[in-house]
Structure 1
Amino acid sequence: MGAEDDLLVAVHDAHADALYRYVARRTGDGEEARDVVQETLLRAWRHPEVLQRSDDGVRAWLFTTARNLVIDDLRSARRRREYAAESPPEQSRADETQAVLDSWVVADALMSLSPDHRAMVVGAYYGGRSVTELAHEHGVPIGTAKSRLHYGLRALRLALQEKGVTS
């Protein structure tokens, strides 16, 4: 190490703790305070003439430089547009575009069914009702409900194939 490096180590030992406390009070953030102190000492190292001043002169230069760095950061575009958060404001989700498009295709295919077939398919698959429940709901025998559901599903499969959906 050279004489300037020794001088910088001496400046660090004499002023770094007080400088850290000063910056931490101004920023309220320990990590940011460490970064500002590091940048301040780096600037002192780049300007060795500062290290030749009296101890009070070096201290004043360090605190002024740190203060200016804090003010510059507060005025920066990053500070105005970015906000620190403990956790992301929302969890990322998978792209649901394909699911939406698929639901449109299915809805369009369902519209091509007869009302009786559509009622059975929608009731069974979207309503979660059994064939017996559907039969009672629509006032038809259970065999008729089964038949409408069977033929409704066949018609739905054909309608989806016509729309380019493969089985």
Structure 2
Amino acid sequence: MYDLHVDQIWRYIKAKVAHPQDAEDLTSEVFLRAYKAWDRFNPDKASVRTWLFTITHRVVIDWLRKKGDVTVDIQEVQVTDSSETPEEEAVKRDLINCLSRNLRRLGHREVEALSLRFGSDLTSREIGTLLGLNEGTTKMMIHRTIKKLREWCL
């Protein structure tokens, strides 16, 4: 279980916290909680991955409440590719700047849904489970959020 999911869990947490050491500590906390709660896991209710991301989501929220709202600036994300021309890099940088500005305009649930979909590769059903929404509502929210970002940035 650990080997199969640790990288996704760590990437999700790293997107929420500023320091890699905090992400490592929180990832350990997730798997410790999962180990302690394994007897309560019900495969009829959710997959192991969804269950782990539910724990992860709660661990991150608990940590953020204790620390205050800590976020990672999207501009810190590495976007250069050695095969890109300077013009392509400039276009990509402009797009990232636009996304960074406009993500602040979105609601918390919208940002969280995008993060889970594209950062952690969760399905709409898994995201809905984490956010307390049904699959159809989740799909529609993600679709509308992407549409907003396209209108604002493209």
For normalisation by structure 2, the TM-score amounts to 0.39
Relative contact order, higher structure (CA 8 A, sep 6+): 2
Q: For the pair shown, which has the larger CA radius of gyration, 1 or 2? A: 1
The alignment's TM-score, normalised by the length of structure 1, stands at 0.36
